[in-house]
Amino acid sequence: MALMISEVSMPINENAGPADLPALAEVSAPRSIGRGYRSYDRHQIALHEGCATAAIERDILRSGQVVGVLPIDLARREVVLIRQFRLGSHMALGKGAMIELPAGRVDPQESAEQAARRECYEETGVHAVRLQPLFEVMPAPALSDECMILYVASVDATKVEKRSGCAREGEKIETIRIPIGDAIEMLSRGGLHNSIVIIAMQWLALNLKTLPEILTE
């Protein structure tokens, strides 16, 4: 079995409390078990923990680097969200028309910031005036290597298109302009199920007072 060591050196601030850490794991070369909209691979893993070694097998959906954008119009105190069909939520919850953030994959020829600006325009019809990176988040690390850089963007909500999406990707997207307070209120009444938009609304609730500085500095 061909193995690759996946231990990665990362600077850790030991005074900052618990944090995600590198793992000492030997991971086999991928064995393809499916190809479609995304690639689906299987790996054999030797996971080293102290003197013990555990042999496990895991499947992973290969998605890679993606970006998400939280568009905010400070002048009108609005958030711009989108709604589109998702098979997973349709099957699990019977709620396939899911509220989300503008988001998508980073193409090979572009940077994450370029991808964020492109996705914001493709999925809302409006350009980001200012774009500020917030943090990285992995929606389902047990199932996928998808890693999202989440951005907050300053936009003019009056220019948002009612319908949007990339035609070549078959996207049919409805845009939603909603007051910031109402968007945050959706959290408490259980109106949201997409993990990324929930995280974004929680961030928004925590950072309301500093939004002007974040988006205009």
Q: What is the pLDDT of residues 171-209, one digit of tens each?
A: 678 999 999 999 999 988 888 999 999 999 999 999 999
pLDDT at 22: 87
What pLDDT is stored for residue 169 in this prediction? 56
Which pLDDT does position 167 carry in this prediction?
53
Q: Residues with Cβ < 8 Å from 22, sequence gap 6 or more?
A: 7, 8, 9, 10
pLDDT at 3: 40
Q: Residue 13 has what pLDDT?
A: 56
Burial 188-214 (b: 16+ CB within 10 A, else e): eeeebbbebbebbbeebeeeeeebeee
pTM score, whole prediction: 0.83
pLDDT (0 to 100) of residue 39: 87
The low-confidence residues of the chain, meaning pLDDT below 50, are 1-12
Q: What is the pLDDT of residue 195?
A: 93
Domains detected in the chain: 23-62 (no CATH), 65-216 (3.90.79.10)
End-to-end CA, the chain = 52
**pLDDT at residue 18, rounded to an integer:** 86
- pLDDT of 2 reads 39
**At 125, which amino acid appears?**
G
Q: For residue 159, report the phi and psi dihedrals to the nearest 5 degrees.
A: -95, 0
